[in-house]
Amino acid sequence: MIPEQMPSANMTVGRFAPSPTGPLHTGSLVAAVGSYAMAKRYRGLWLLRMEDLDTPRVVPGMADDILRTLEALGFAWDGGIIRQSDRTDAYQAALERLLASGDVYPCGCSRAEIARAATAPHDGEGEVAYPNLCRNGLPPGKEARAYRVKVSHVPVTFRDLVLGEKRYDLASVCGDFVVKRADGLFAYQLAVVVDDAEQGANQVVRGADLLSSTPRQIHLQRLLGFETPVYCHLPLVTGPGGAKLSKRDNALSLDSGRNLAADGGGLLLAALRFLGQQPPPSMSGASCREILAWAADAFDPALIPTVPSSLPFSP
């Protein structure tokens, strides 16, 4: 069990879940501001989770750098910090439940074998729909490499607070997807579902780059008997010419030389304007905490744009 503050039945519980694979950047700042304001506008909890499960990509010291940067920007989270690297027992328990119900099965396929056997075209993210090679049992001579969850052509539908009604046929988009990887690590999709359920997160505000993960997570939530949160996917921050920013772009790390004592308030105001909000001129020069307090009172999700754009701030 997660030793956290337990929310009341009707309390909004949001969360911010950065990955310590690089410093906080302008895109993750927008997600932090959006998730914080959306939770606090309902006087709810805002939890912090460090998604450090993909250990080969984790940069040593980066988790602490992200936390210090958030604190310098005036953020205060409720309760302690959850780290996915501490929670493999919880993910294993969920996997065993899915195995027992027959919803998950071992897969012995390599990526090359899947690519050769697939007949469905790649989706917009270059993904190949899994061709069900191991769905009815491991072929002779094959050993389990990963574990996959079964999906069907019954569409997963949900209403996003920004993007409206969304509908996905997982069997066509991705096919049976991995919940435990060949390297022994649990997949992001399963870990997030288990964590959100145990933390009581009922509001998920994050970048639109994670939109395709949502139907997969809803599918797992239903199989495990978990409630589905309200989802809100924020527009992506882009660079010059509309190019997607990499995690190395516009780093906000204190260790990178960024002066957050001078720039922090301007960055928060820029993030709020990016999200369609209209901070009054009197907020110029306000402290980070004052700006976040204004956002908690005045944030209007109906104003969030649906298209990506650049962040209007360049100190």
- Residues annotated as catalytic are 247
DSSP state of 42: T
Name beta bridge partners: 162: none
Residue listed under structure tokens 């020069």: 285
Determine the Cα–Cα distance for residues 160 and 213; give it in Å rounded to an integer.
13
Determine the Cα–Cα distance for residues 240 and 273; give it in Å rounded to an integer.
18
- Report the relative pairing of strands 164-168 and 230-234 from DSSP bridges: unpaired
Determine the Cα–Cα distance for residues 100 and 98; give it in Å rounded to an integer.
5
Q: Which of 174, 250, 219, 198 is nearest to 93 (CA)?
A: 198
Determine the Cα–Cα distance for residues 93 and 146; give it in Å rounded to an integer.
16
DSSP state of 112: H
Helix/strand/coil for 267: helix
Long-range CB contacts (within 8 A, 24+) of 307-310: 307/235, 308/208, 308/235, 308/236, 308/237, 308/238, 308/242, 308/244, 309/235, 309/237, 309/238, 309/274, 310/237, 310/238, 310/239, 310/240
Q: What does the DSSP assignment read for 192-254?
A: HHHHHHHHT--EEEEEGGGTTHHHHHHHHHHHHTPPPPEEEEEPPBB-GGGPBPPTTTTB--G
Question: Given its phi and psi angles, is residue 195 left (phi above 0), alpha (psi -120 to 50 degrees) or beta?
Answer: alpha
